[in-house]
Amino acid sequence: MLAARQHRDAAAESVASRIVNDVRRRGDAAVFAWTRRLDGIRLTPRTLWVSASERRAAARAVPKVLRAALEHAARNIRRVAEAQLPPSWSITIEPGVRVGQRVTAIDTIGCYIPGGRFSLVSTLLMTAIPAQVAGVRRIVVACPRPNAALLAAAEMLGLEEIAHIGGAQAIAALAYGTRSVPRVEKLFGPGNRFVTAAKRLVSADCAIDLLAGPTELLIVAASGNPRYIAADLLAQAEHDPEAMALLVTTSRKLAEAVRNAAAEQLSRLPDRNPAKRSLADKGAILLAPNSAAAVRFANRFAPEHLSIPVEHAELARKLDAAGSVFLGPWSAQSIGDYASGTNHVLPTSGGARTRGGLSTADFVRCSSVQYISAAGLRSLGPVVAALADAEGLIAHRRAVEVRQ
C-alpha cells in the first residue's frame, strides 16, 4: 500500500506530455481541439471566457441558503488566510547592520478548479481567497464546466477571468500562455491524474503549489463512536475511486463495529457513488499490536487528513506528520473541506512529511533586505575577509575592502 502511493503514473504522464507539448506548439488551436475532444465543448476565443452577465445571473439564481453558506465559508477562510500571511519585519543585528524581510505578492496566478462530476466551488474559495489576502493582482480561473454555484462564488469574490477549459490543456495554457489565455506565474488547485501529471511537467517553467493526488484519510483510534468513524471513511472515499480511507486501531471490537457501520452506511449510497469502489479497492481497517506501532505507521504514512476522534492530547502530540488534523468526535473532515477556514488543498502520497497544506504564504515572496552603514562595514569586513579567504573567493574579499 505504501509503495503504491509512490508509483509514477507513466500512462498519465505520456498523455499529459503529448497535450502539453501540443499546446506549447499550437497555442489556442491545441487548447480548443483538446477541449472539444476530451470535454465535448466547442470553444472560440469569444466563448472561452465566462461573461459578466453569466456571473451576475448565477449570483441571482442560486438559493439564498447557498449564498449564505458561501459567504459564511468565505469569511472563515479569509480569517485563517489573514492569520497565515507572513509579516514584513526589520531588526538591527548589530550597530550599523539592519536586516529584514519584505513580503510581496505574486503578480498573476492560475486557479485550476476540477469540473468532472461537479464544479468544486469550495476549491475556488480555498485558492482565490488566500490569493486575495496576499494581494495577488490577477487571478485567472480555469474550469471546463463552471456551474451556477461556482459562478456565484466568483461574482461574490469579484473574479472576472474564468475560462471554460480543463485538463492538461488548461494547465499548459496557463503555464505557457496562448493568444487568448494569459501566462501565469504560479498554478494552484488539485485535479485528476492527467492534471497532476501536467503540473509535474510544467513545474520547471511555471511554479506550482503542490502535487495533490487522490485524497487520503487516516483515522487513529482505540475507541470512539463507530458510526462517526464510518461516516468519515465514506465521506473521504467518495472523492475519488482511488481515494484511500483507513482506520488504524488497537481494538478488534472497534474495528468490527466500524466495519459493520460502514457496510450499513455504504448500502444507503447510490450505486454510482465512488465510495463503493474506493472502499472496496483502497479502504482498510488495520489492527495494530499496540499504540506505539499505530503511531509509527501513521507518521510514516503521513496522511493528507488525519483524524483522532477522541480527546487524546498525548496521542495528538505524537502524530506529527499530516496535511490537516481533526481532533475530537465532532471534527468531521467535511467541515475542514468546506467551512472551518483551514485550506483543503493538501499534500498527499506522504508529502505531509515535509509540508502542510496550502496557505497564504504560498502566494507571496519573502525577500531578505539589508542595509549596512559605514560602521557596519567596518565591523563585518574582517569577518567577510576571513570567510572569503577560507573559500578562496578573492573578489568577495575585495568587494568589502574597496569600500573601506
Residue 122's CATH number? 3.40.50.1980
pLDDT at 117: 63
> In this structure, are residues 243 and 274 in contact, taking their beta carbons and an 8 Å threshold?
yes
Does the residue 2 lie in any domain?
no
* Domain of residue 48, residue span: 10-87+105-208
In a domain, 196, yes or no: yes
Q: How many domains does the chain have?
A: 3
Of 176, 178, 179, nearest to 187 by C-alpha is 176
- Does pLDDT of 187 surpass 80? yes
- Which one of the listed residues 305, 311, 312, 401 is annotated catalytic? 305
Domain assignment present for 59? yes
Residue 127 neighbours by CB under 8 Å, 6+ apart: 111, 113, 188, 189, 345, 358
Beta-bridge partner residues of 90: 100
Binned at pLDDT 50, 70 and 90, residue 2 comes out as: confident
- Indicate whether 3 pLDDT > 90: no
* Rounded CA separation 5/140 (Å): 31
304 is catalytic: yes
pLDDT in tens, 331-347: 999 999 999 999 999 99
What are the φ and ψ backbone dihedral angles of 327, each rounded to 5 degrees?
Answer: -110, 130
Both 151 and 234 in a single domain? no
Q: Render pLDDT for 122-140 as a digit per residue (tens, 0 to 9).
A: 999 999 999 999 999 999 9
Would you say residue 100 lies in a domain?
A: no
- pLDDT one-digit tens code per residue, 28-70: 999 999 999 999 999 999 999 999 999 999 999 999 999 999 9
Residue 378 lies in a domain: yes
Same structural domain, 221 and 203: no
Assess whether 43 and 124 both reside in one domain: yes
Q: Given the C-alpha cell 506548439, which residue does it identify?
A: 25
Parallel, antiparallel or unpaired: strands 216-220 and 161-163: unpaired
- Contact at 8 Å (CB) between 302 and 350? yes
Q: pTM for the complete prediction?
A: 0.93
Same domain as 305, residue 229? yes
Q: Provide the pLDDT for residue 312.
A: 76
The verdict on 318 and 384 lying in the same domain is: no
Strands 97-105 and 89-94, by their bridges, are antiparallel
Dist. CA 109–CA 130, nearest whole Å: 11
From 155, 239, 304, 344, active-site residue: 304
Cα dihedral 188, 209, 344, 144 in deg (nearest 10): 20
